[in-house]
Structure 1
Amino acid sequence: MHNNFQNLKEEIEKINQKIQEYLEKNNIHSKLQSLNSQMLSADFWQDKNNSQRVIKEKKFYEDLTNSLNNNVEKLKDLDDLSQLAYEEENLQVQNEVLQNIKDLRNEVKKNEIKCFLSNEADPLNCYIEIHAGAGGTESQDWADMLRRMYLKWSDKKNFKSSLISEHKGDEAGIKSATIKIDGDYVFGWLKKESGIHRLVRISPFDSGARRHTSFASVWIYPVVDENINIEILEKDLRIDTYRSSGAGGQHVNTTDSAVRITHIPSKIVVQCQNERSQHKNKETCMNMLKARLYDYEIKKREEENQNVESSKSEIGWGHQIRSYVLQPYRLVKDNRTSFESTSPDKVLDGDLDEFLEQSLYKLNEK
């Protein structure tokens, strides 16, 4: 009986220490103080974009702090209850305390993950760029499946998604597409999804029903707000217009309204065709280019740029970050975290949170 009680006490103390570590390691209290100070400045409301960003961040940290404080209160109650159960030698209540500790541990873990979303660009919205690898229809269909997966994930989170550009496949799927997702901390959640995604399945396009391996690349970068100043020189740009390859019907653009911009020094290319107006498409392209250049600078600062660029350039064997196997067995495995799911249908239907959480854990182990 004494050992059980001691184990409970130790478990409670461990969780409490974890909570304090999160708060200190991520400077949550000082970040809140800084945001509160900004809100008290006389000209705070004059810059609408900045004030919205500060309010959004403040709410995030307040909710996180309140949740962690609530965890601490629950721990105190469980500590008192375990003491009572020990004194009365009540094994049933001890077991209840043990179950409550397990539930609380999961709750604390979710708060820990939120602590990881405290980098400069994490609160921003994001673009998702998807490109089919070699392999024609197979890879183009796989690229379309990935796009659907991220759109489904976005829907589950009640985020807003929009199609920026799309190049359809020859028979099915897409050769490439760019989508934008708006929501709280979207870039923070998705930033580690950049890389090569591999699919193994019995091909629906193969009359011999043979197994095929397909590849597609995913590239995530943040939507830059107006507070972040990115200098772009006109002489560094090549701007092309072309006719949009729309989905058909009344929405096909009959003018050369689609825009492609190449940033010559960095070789970054962005394109947009979702608006009828060439001016609006050019404006969207410039915003995307700013985002790409900002992300490029972030990666350089983090000394990750070389790895990211190499993973983008080779869409094939040996470079995948995650494998989705539908045949001969059913498994989704992340090659970086070794996290697995035996329910690929759920994952492809947008059930991505566990993979995203494991990536954030891995990132913060460094």
Structure 2
Amino acid sequence: MENEIQTFLSDIKKINLRIKEYLDKNQVISKLKSIEEKMLQANFWQDKEKSKKTLKEKKLLEEISSSHLNIESELKDAGELFELANSENNHEILSDLKINLKNLKKTVKQNEIKCFLSNEADSLDTYIEIHAGAGGTESQDWAQMLRRMYVKWAERKKFKVGLISEHTGDEAGIKSSTIKIEGDYVFGWLKKESGIHRLVRISPFDSGARRHTSFASIWIYPLVNEDIKIDIQEKDLRIDTYRSSGAGGQHVNTTDSAVRITHLPTKIVVQCQNERSQHKNKETCMNMLKARLYDYEIKKKEEESQNTESIKSEIGWGHQIRSYVLQPYQLVKDNRTNFESTSPEKVLDGEIDEFLEQSLYNLND
């Protein structure tokens, strides 16, 4: 037990030191003072969007810095208690201390993850595009399962979810869907989810109860705000209107209100059909296009655009970032971090935080 406690103490100390390096490198204390000074200015609250963004940044920086100080204090107390309990051979105190340190390690790791959410786009809301791969009903059902997973995750976080567009499958599921999620640091949390997701299961659509493998692609990009300027030329756009598709009934539009915009230089396509007004759908499309172009430029700067586009172009073998196996065994495995879960039903019900955290750790190794 003594060795385990010493390991916990050492691990927590190392992580908290990395957080201190982040705080010092990014001059967090002086940033907070600067934000507080800005908030005292008479015109601070006039621009609601800008003030909202500033308050969000302040909240995150305060959480990181205050948690760092609290952990530093708890670590010192734990170290002293360990020395005392160990010298007196008090196993009851040592047992309680081990449990407390295990929880403290979880807290300090969560605090470190917040440090990873400090890039320019991380605080933004996000769009999620879901596309079924080849395989008809099987893949379309899988695409719908993935959409449900992200919606459930967002609901657990008390985030706001909106449907932008959807093309339903011929028999079940969806061919494609775009949803918008609004909440604190949504893009930062989900940015590494882009890629191919693979499902292995006994097909509910196969009368022979055979095992099937299905693929679907996920595409994550940030919902940009007015502070980010993206130049879009009218001559570079092709705008098409079409009739909205849906499950049928009185709520399906009978006019050509759905809008599709193609950005010719990059071949980026966005579409929206959630509003009855063509004007509103076009406005949403333009916002989505702005977001996609911003994401495209980020990837270009990181020299990842070629790799990303090649991944998106082929929804099948060899490109999957995560596998979800329901038969013949139960396992969800991330192919980039090697993180695993033997509870796929929980993962598909939106419990994906551990996968997201591991991706963030991997990104910052």
Using the size of structure 1 for normalisation, the TM-score is 0.94
The offset of 1:184, in angstroms, is: 0.4
Secondary structure of 1:259's partner?
Answer: strand
Q: Which moved more, 1:194-203 or 1:97-106?
A: 97-106
The offset of 1:102, in angstroms, is: 1.8
Per-residue deviation, residues 112-133 of structure 1 (Å, max 9, x unmatched): 1111111110111000000001
CA distance in 2, matches of 1:175, 1:11: 48
Residues 40-189 of structure 1: pairs in structure 2 closer than 5 A: 40-41=40-41, 43-189=43-189
CA distance in 2, matches of 1:61, 1:165: 35
Equivalent residues of 1:259, 1:272 under 8 A apart: yes
Paired letter, 2:240: D
CA distance in 2, matches of 1:198, 1:30: 46
Instruction: Tell me which residue corresponds to 1:327.
Output: 327
CA distance in 2, matches of 1:272, 1:7: 55
Equivalent residues of 2:201, 2:211 under 8 A apart: yes
CA distance in 1, matches of 2:121, 2:35: 16
Instruction: Tell me which residue corresponds to 1:25.
Output: 22
CA distance in 2, matches of 1:349, 1:282: 33
Paired letter, 2:285: C
Equivalent residues of 1:23, 1:29 under 8 A apart: no
Per-residue deviation, residues 26-85 of structure 1 (Å, max 9, x unmatched): 524354345335435554333221111001110111122222222122112212322332
Equivalent residues of 2:9, 2:101 under 8 A apart: yes
CA distance in 2, matches of 1:301, 1:40: 37
CA distance in 1, matches of 2:42, 2:305: 40
CA 1:203–1:8 in 2, change beyond 3 Å: closer, same or farther?
A: closer
- Structure 1: tracts of 5 or more residues without a match: none
CA distance in 2, matches of 1:14, 1:259: 53
Paired letter, 1:25: Y
Instruction: Tell me which residue corresponds to 2:348.
Output: 348
Instruction: Tell me which residue corresponds to 2:218.
Output: 218
Q: Which moved more, 1:79-88 or 1:28-37?
A: 28-37
CA distance in 2, matches of 1:216, 1:23: 40
The offset of 1:183, in angstroms, is: 0.6
- Structure 2: tracts of 5 or more residues without a match: none
Q: Which moved more, 1:129-138 or 1:28-37?
A: 28-37
Per-residue deviation, residues 69-112 of structure 1 (Å, max 9, x unmatched): 22122112212322332443423323322332222111111111
CA distance in 2, matches of 1:310, 1:113: 29
Per-residue deviation, residues 253-297 of structure 1 (Å, max 9, x unmatched): 111000000000110000000000000000000000000000011
Number of aligned residue pairs? 362
Instruction: Tell me which residue corresponds to 2:239.
Output: 239
Equivalent residues of 1:15, 1:105 under 8 A apart: yes
The offset of 1:162, in angstroms, is: 0.6
CA distance in 1, matches of 2:305, 2:30: 30
Secondary structure of 1:260's partner?
Answer: strand
Q: Output the aligned Cα RMSD.
A: 1.8
Using the size of structure 2 for normalisation, the TM-score is 0.94
